Every structure is written in C-alpha cells, then in structure tokens.
Amino acid sequence: METAQELIEALGGRENIVDIEPCLMRIRVEVRTQRAVAENGLRLPEILAVVRSGAYVQLVAGLKTEEIAADMKSRVANVPHGTRTGPVGESVSA
C-alpha cells in the first residue's frame, strides 16, 4: 500500500477529509472529526511528526510534502459524484 493511501485511511478515510494543503514542510489536513483519526497509522517512515489541533492534522513530511500531498489530493478527489463537499472533492449534482 502506498504512503498516500495509508495516510488517507489513517485520517478516517476519504469521507473524513475536508481539505488537504501542502504548507512548506508539512501537509495540513482538515478533518470532519478527530475521533476517526488513527494517529498510530500516521506514523510512517515518510512522516517526521504529527501535530493535531482542532479540526486539523498536520503531517511533517519534509522534502516529500508536495509529492505526498498531491497524491493524497488526487486519491481523495476520485470520490463518486455527490458524495463529497468542500475544497478537495466538490459535490456534483447528477
């Protein structure tokens, strides 16, 4: 399983992710609920640190930040139409 997919699952799955933004050396992920986040699953070799605050989980990924964030965004955006809202996967009416 790839890093991006493992992180998505540990963050509570696609349905728990509101937004993913690379920010310098970290990936800032807005989640619907922190209760769905499995922090142990976020502790991968590519992730240097995890910071949780409010509705956000920040993953410090160093030089791999852009690459991992782009992969996560593309995987989360591939949600069937009408099942997501927000910046990552806009809800589309059929």
Render pLDDT for 5-33 as a digit per residue (tens, 0 to 9).
999 999 999 999 999 999 999 999 999 99
Where exactly are the structural domains of the chain?
Answer: 2-76
Q: How many CB atoms lie within 10 A of CB 43?
A: 13
Nearest Cα to Cα of residue 55 among 8, 90, 20, 92: 20
- Check residue 84 and give its pLDDT: 43
- Residue % of the chain over a pLDDT of 90: 80
Q: Identify whether 7 is a catalytic site residue.
A: no
DSSP class per residue in 16-50: GEEEEEEETTEEEEEES-GGG--HHHH--TT--EE
- Would you say residue 4 has pLDDT above 50? yes
pTM value? 0.81
Catalytic residue, candidates 5, 23, 55, 66: 23
- Check residue 78 and give its pLDDT: 78
- Would you say residue 76 has pLDDT above 70? yes
Fold of 2-76: Gyrase A; domain 2 (3.30.1360)
